[in-house]
Chains A and B, each alone.
Chain A
């Protein structure tokens, strides 16, 4: 091959990889991270005597194979987007909200109450009303750690952890007491089903709630990046003294942030209640809030990133049972895969080294500047 030919060849290569190359640059790291995590997870399966291809195949097919699969994946992703957004939002103000679980439960039960107790409303009013109620309940519950922090200095990590347990007990009490469904055949602790007018419908087999979640993800991104409030929150999150200097009332920002964060978590609970469960029942929302931390981190603490990370984790939740059914693989292996994904996405330096991509001067992911004050 002559030199000239080779040059030409290179040019062609360049061109054909042009657009793909650009996209590849953007998605190569996350994609490779996912792949590596799946690969190692598969290795573990193979070593322990299962067939990783069969397992992943079942998972993939169950989560994305048909409209039902998609529907369930989106269903699983929906509350995760909300709790991820809640965690993300708090992170931006330098707050670590481990209390999304509690806020989500409060939102879920409130929306259930509004869903069954109010009758005769048209759906167009009832749905948003119950959602709003859930958001408010979450906001109210989220405001407690915010207020405690600004008034007494009590650390939000402690108070949010403790309030999670308080929320479990409050909702257990309500659903087994004042709000319990009364019927002779049914003695389980749960509220009556919500009215049909409060139910969030499906659109072409896909849950509408997911699209609400996307709207909120964009909305949160918009607040953070495009509004003065977002500017204030991000400033307070990065430097308390600079925020004060800039005339920002840091204490107010802390409370507002926790209120919004709580509202997002509460909304997650409400959407779950109105879109999927159809009532409040203890045990039906387990782990949704806690998973928000993983979702937020995997989404690089970016509101839009949350959508993708929630989809990823949601698909594993949706496909886990099928994986067990078909390949007899314990679905918890997906936890290992999630941990590895999180690791590789965060350790993009490692991934870049593996795929021999030059380091961009992309800023590393920093969210912790210590426990703050």
Chain B
């Protein structure tokens, strides 16, 4: 018997200037993983926010257990059995895991907060679904994958039957994705239903029971995973044929650009984050740094570009010493850095796009002459880049915060790629981007390589590493566990290395 637990009918949601959802309908059955597939900006998140009570729909109706309802707010949604794991985790960083889970559904003991009995209940959930987590850890100290688990437990603790996972794999390593899928399976096995929002085709085929594809706010098709293939889904999702594979020439490594010897980096508390790491990158090759999030890659990048100090070891760029060089020095040595957190690190949101385009070259001619900024030059430069890199904005004088989605990434790429560089350090260059944008960025990275640039790509997306890299360095626990040529190793082998398993 098919039991529909959630149905949305003709949901329409308009924002000034855009129709985010245009008469969307779909059904979620009990015990089903229903994938909502669509590019960024297709309207998936808006739809989920409507279901979750964060937005009011302009038209349409939601049915829960075949009963028409109006979800007032998230609290109401939870009460009706809908839980949501947001793409940006809704966790209080300084709280313990336990505190984060009980927040909003606290039990009390007289006036006091009672954490004892929830602890037992939560432990039960943890055991039941094999979630393995320490409830007393401070949340911000946890790796992303585990934080996501906290979100799932949060929902389960509220006894939801329907779980909405918004791009849950975007930030996960392959192993973590596997773990997540296991958890999802065990959830549906025990009677929960899941809405799985993603733009990753492969995952959809792997895990979903039913697929609904959304494009520009409309449902453009649906499929069963066993009837669909990646290519057809991609075409449906993007609205045109997509080249799924990168075509790149074989690398022709030339002179040495980056040399790292015995590098050690410690964090503020003295914990070793990067442990005796040595490697080199030559002009004309792409080296991928693979590894599960939190194994020292972030610190490695930050140390290389001068954002954090190194403990010991040496770094050379173009044969010149660059150990503990300032970010500016590193930039001036001809390197570009695409930071991991694009919203926070690489840009100043209240500034204009033009100012962001010169964020690390503002002091150089022609943007400044003897300490005085040359507004005209900056504007000209920015307008040019906006056009060249297809940054979607009415004007380069608009603030960076007005940009949407992938345009943030394009803005940074435009700035970093526009300089003459011979070293490109890209951290998670495509995180959270849609297929079209990923395709675009990958091509640009390869283009840079072919121009003779040494490229270091740090990614937790194994596919990305496999596709882009000429050589792959796998980090585990702050150490380089192995360095391999990309065409001599399978994805599965890299995955094992990332888990710390050496052959």
- Judged by a CB distance under 8 angstroms, whether B360 is at the interface is yes
- Cβ contact within 8 Å between A247 and B371: no
Q: Does B359 contact A (CB under 8 A)?
A: yes
Which of B329, B355, B363 has the most C-beta atoms of chain A within 10 angstroms of its own C-beta?
Answer: B363
Which B residues lie within 8 Å of A363 (CB)? 350
Contact A246 B359 (CB under 8 A): yes
Residues of B within 8 A of A327 (CB): none
Residue of A nearest to B368 (CB): A228
Q: Are B359 and A242 in contact (CB under 8 A)?
A: yes
Q: Does A88 contact B (CB under 8 A)?
A: no
| Number of B positions contacting A (CB below 8 A) | 27
Query: Nearest Cβ distance between residue B274 and chain A, in whole angstroms?
Result: 19
A231, A245, A249: the one contacting B337 at CB < 8 Å is A245
Counting chain B CB atoms within 10 Å of each CB, the highest count among A241, A243, A245, A366 belongs to A245
Q: Does A227 contact B (CB under 8 A)?
A: yes
CB distance from B123 to the nearest CB of A (A): 36
Chain B 51-67 interface 0/1 with A at a Cβ cutoff of 8 Å (1 = within): 00000000000000000
Question: Is there contact, CB below 8 Å, between B372 and A238?
Answer: no
B410 at the interface (CB under 8 A from A): no
Residue A324 lies at the interface, judged by CB distance under 8 Å to chain B: no
Are the C-beta atoms of A245 and B326 separated by less than 8 Å?
A: no
Contact B360 A241 (CB under 8 A): no
- The reply on B328 being an interface residue by CB < 8 A is yes
Inter-chain contact A246/B327, CB cutoff 8 Å: yes
Note all chain A residues with C-beta closer than 8 A to B360.
245-247
The answer to whether B346 has its CB under 8 Å from any CB of chain A is yes
Contact with B along A339-357 (1 / 0, CB 8 A): 0000000000000000000
Contact partners of B372 in chain A: CB under 8 A: 226-228
Rounded to whole Å, the gap between the CB of A233 and the closest CB of chain B is 12
- B313-350 interface mask toward A, CB cutoff 8 Å, 1 = contact, 0 = none? 00000000000001111010000010101001111111
CB of B417 within 8 A of chain A? no
Q: Within A224-240, which residues are at the interface with B (CB < 8 Å)?
A: 226-231, 234-235, 238-239
B307 touches A245 (CB 8 A): yes
Within 8 A of B (CB), among A106-135: none
Which of A238, A245, A366 is close to B346, meaning CB atoms less than 8 Å apart? Answer: A245
Known contacts A231-B355, A231-B362, A247-B328, A242 near B347 by CB under 8 Å: yes
Residues of A within 8 A of B355 (CB): 231
State A229–B368 Cα separation when bound (angstroms): 11
A8 beta carbon closer than 8 Å to chain B: no
Establish whether residues A231 and B373, one from each chain, have CB atoms under 8 Å apart when the complex forms. yes
Provide the residues of chain B in CB contact with A227, threshold 8 Å: 368, 371-373
Answer yes or no: A244 CB below 8 A from chain B CBs: yes
Once A226-B372, A227-B372, A231-B355 are accepted as A-B contacts, the answer to whether A245 and B345 lie under 8 Å apart by CB is yes
Question: Which residues of A are found within 8 Å of B329, using beta-carbon distances?
Answer: 247
A226 and B372 alpha carbons, distance in the complex (Å):
6
What chain A residues lie within 8 Å of B375 (beta carbons)? 226
Q: Mark A200-231, 1 if CB is under 8 A from B, else 0.
A: 00000000000000000000000000111111
Q: Is the CB of A246 within 8 A of B344?
A: no
Which one of B341, B349, B362, B373 contacts A246 once the chains associate, using CB atoms below 8 Å? B362
Is there an interface contact between A242 and B346, defined as CB atoms closer than 8 Å?
yes
One digit per residue, 1 when the CB lies within 8 angstroms of any chain A CB and 0 when it does not, for chain B 369-392 equals: 001110100000000000000000
Task: Tell whether, in the assembled complex, residue A241 and residue B345 are in contact, meaning their CB atoms are under 8 Å apart.
Answer: yes
Nearest-Cβ distance from residue A301 to partner chain B, whole angstroms: 13
If A231-B373, A247-B328 touch, whether A239 touches B344 (CB-CB below 8 Å) is yes
Partner of A228 from B307, B339, B345, B363 at Cβ < 8 Å: B363
User: Complex Cα distance A367/B349, Å?
Assistant: 14
Query: A228-B362, A228-B372, A231-B362 known; A249 and B326 CB under 8 Å?
Result: yes
Q: In the docked arrangement, what's the CA distance between A103 and B371, Å?
A: 27
| Whole-angstrom distance between the Cβ of B358 and the nearest chain A Cβ | 9
Does residue B279 face the partner (Cβ distance < 8 Å to A)?
Answer: no
Measured CB to CB, the closest approach of chain B to A364, in angstroms, equals 11
CB distance from B231 to the nearest CB of A (A): 39
Which residues on B sit within 8 Å (CB–CB) of A228?
362-363, 368, 371-373
User: Are A229 and B348 CB-contacts (below 8 A) given A246-B362, A247-B331, A247-B360?
Assistant: no
In the bound complex, CA of A249 to CA of B327 (Å):
9
> Hey, which chain B residues are within 8 Å of A230, CB to CB?
373
Contacts of A241 in B (CB 8 A): 307, 341, 344-345
- The residue from A242, A247, A249 contacting B348, defined by CB atoms under 8 A apart: A242
CA distance A238 to B360 in the complex (A): 15
Known A-B contacts A241-B344, A244-B307; A235 and B363 likewise in contact (beta carbons under 8 Å):
no
Verify if B89 is at the interface (C-beta below 8 Å from A): no
Which residues on B sit within 8 Å (CB–CB) of A234?
A: 348, 351
CA distance A238 to B399 in the complex (A): 13
Inter-chain contact B373/A238, CB cutoff 8 Å: no
B368 partner residues in chain A, CB cutoff 8 A:
227-228
How many whole Å from B458's CB to the nearest CB in chain A? 16
Which A-chain residue is minimally distant from B326 (CB atoms)?
A247
- How far in angstroms is the closest Cβ of chain B from A227? 5
Chain B stretch 399-448: residues in CB contact (< 8 A) with chain A: none
Do B326 and A235 touch across chains, with their CB atoms under 8 A apart? no
Per the 8 Å Cβ criterion, residues 275-330 of B in contact with A are 307, 326-329
Residues of A within 8 A of B328 (CB): 247-248
Contact call B362/A242, Cβ cutoff below 8 A: no
Residues of A within 8 A of B373 (CB): 226-228, 230-231
Docked pose: A158 CA to B331 CA in angstroms = 37
Cα–Cα distance between A248 and B355 once the two chains are bound (Å) = 14
> Closest CB-CB distance, A254 to chain B, in whole Å?
16
Residue on A with the closest CB to B378? A231
Contacts of B359 in A (CB 8 A): 235, 242, 245-246
Give the residues in chain A near B331, CB-CB below 8 Å. 247
Q: In the docked arrangement, what's the CA distance between A231 and B355, Å?
A: 9
Given contacts A226-B373, A244-B307, A245-B339, contact A235 B327 (CB under 8 A): no
Q: Which residues of B contact A247 (CB under 8 A)?
A: 326-329, 331, 360
Please name all residues of chain A whose beta carbon is closer than 8 Å to the beta carbon of B307 when the two chains form the complex.
241, 244-245
> Which residues on the B side are within 8 Å of A239 (C-beta)?
344, 347-349
CB distance from A289 to the nearest CB of B (A): 28
Query: In the assembled complex, which residues on chain B have CB atoms less than 8 Å from the CB atom of A248?
Result: 328
A362 CB to nearest chain B CB (Å): 13
A238, B355: Cα distance in complex, Å: 13
A36 to chain B, nearest CB (A): 29
CB distance from B48 to the nearest CB of A (A): 28
CA–CA, A114 to B347, complex, Å?
Answer: 46
Against B, the Cβ 8 Å flags (1 = close, 0 = not) of A239-266 are 1011111111100000000000000000
Q: How far is the CB of B423 from chain A (nearest CB, A)?
A: 15
B33 to chain A, nearest CB (A): 38
Nearest Cβ in chain A — how far from B107, in angstroms?
32
Least CB distance from A62 to B in Å reads 42
Q: Which residues of A contact B347 (CB under 8 A)?
A: 239, 242
Which among B329, B331, B362 has the greatest number of chain A C-beta atoms within 10 A?
B362
Residues of B within 8 A of A238 (CB): 348-351
Closest chain B residue to A238, Cβ basis: B348
For the complex with contacts A228-B371, A241-B344, A246-B327, 17 further pairs of A-B residues with Cβ separation under 8 Å are A230-B373, A234-B351, A235-B359, A239-B347, A241-B307, A242-B346, A242-B347, A243-B348, A244-B307, A244-B327, A245-B327, A245-B339, A245-B346, A246-B362, A247-B328, A247-B331, A248-B328
6 contacts between A and B (CB under 8 A): A228-B362, A238-B348, A238-B349, A241-B344, A242-B345, A247-B328
Residues of A in contact with B (beta carbons under 8 Å apart): 226-231, 234-235, 238-239, 241-249, 363, 366
Pairs of residues from A and B, 4 with the lowest C-beta to C-beta distance, nearest first: A247-B328, A247-B327, A246-B360, A246-B359
Listed in ascending order, the chain B residues whose CB lies under 8 Å from chain A are: 307, 326-329, 331, 337, 339, 341, 344-351, 355, 359-360, 362-363, 368, 371-373, 375
